[in-house]
Amino acid sequence: MCKAKKYSEQLLNIYDEIENDLKYYNYHIRELVLLEQDLLHTIENGKFNVAEGYKLAKMIKDARNKCRDYKIEVETLLNLKNHFVIRIFMI
């Protein structure tokens, strides 16, 4: 097999993996945003004691932290895709 063909296939596989990872992270970001909204609605409309309020606040904090981590991953993958992979296909 020609080396160039082998490398081209590997690059296409990497590109596909980046696309799949972006879909994965974007899906989970949307899910976390919806979870946060549900928790805020629970706080807005519900009655709860201090311990339950703490648990709700902790759940919001955890969702936001995970969402931030996922957004950092998305940004990193987009930079890789836009500055490396796209240039390869433009050659």
CATH code for the domain of 70: 1.10.287
Q: For the chain, what is the domain count?
A: 1
Domain containing residue 84: 3-90
Q: How far is CA 43 from CA 21, 50, 61, 90, in A?
A: 33, 12, 14, 51
What 8-state DSSP symbol labels residue 46?
-
Check residues 11 and 29 and name the one with the higher pLDDT: 29
Non-local (6+) Cβ contacts of 78 within 8 A are 22
How many angstroms separate the CA atoms of 44 and 35, rounded? 14
Q: What is the pLDDT of residues 30-81, one digit of tens each?
A: 999 999 999 999 999 999 999 999 999 999 999 999 999 999 999 999 999 8
What per-residue confidence (pLDDT) applies to 84?
74
